[in-house]
Amino acid sequence: MKIGLYVLSILCFVLLSCGDDKSTDEVVEEQKTNQEPVITEKAIEKFKYKDYALSSESEDAIAEWENYQELAIQISYLKKADLSFFNGDKEELKEFIMDFKTATPKEFLTNPIKSRTAIIETMLLKLNENLTLDNIEKKDKLLSVKEVLIAFSNLNYQINKKLEYDYYNKIKAE
């Protein structure tokens, strides 16, 4: 009788232990897909856009603009898929943007450069939102990264254009 109880309890244990293995496999697969990096350096390198660099005159002109230098460094990190600056605290990002706008040298306070600065502000905040929210798709996050890169490139273009315009106006005035 004791042997029958032991056999019956072992049989019940074995039956209860056997279950649907699909649910555990699905959880493991979901965890593996969630652990894949959303944005990679290779994905960023595939973006097609005009990446304007600053001319040597422009680099000299913005040498004292520390906030621009910091943004340029963070953009170079972004191109390497380092998102730590952009997916951090939103308040710190807003503070950086305000410092960036207020520290703009007087010679760059033109409407085209102000508008490019506003676009960068918008794109940075959008990227921050897309990176910090979990329900945003990978393609939307990548699009936000591309938009930030384009906005920064367009700012560089406007700075180059402004200094070139100033240079040619000096020539005509003489």
Whether 31 and 73 map to the same domain: the answer is no
Whether 101 and 139 map to the same domain: the answer is yes
Query: How remote is the C-alpha of 76 from its chain's centroid?
Result: 11
Whether 49 and 4 map to the same domain: the answer is no
- pLDDT tens readout for residues 111-158: 999 999 999 999 999 999 999 988 989 999 999 999 999 999 999 999
Task: Return the residue matching tokens 């699009």.
Answer: 143
Whether 28 and 61 map to the same domain: the answer is no
Span 6-18, average pLDDT: 68
Domain count, the chain: 2
| pTM confidence score | 0.75
Whether 28 and 66 map to the same domain: the answer is no
Distance CA 104, CA 126 (A): 22
Whether 121 and 85 map to the same domain: the answer is yes
pLDDT of residue 32: 47
Whether 90 and 131 map to the same domain: the answer is yes
Distance CA 67, CA 121 (A): 13
Residue 139 φ then ψ, to 5°: -65, -35
| Residue 26, domain extent | 1-36
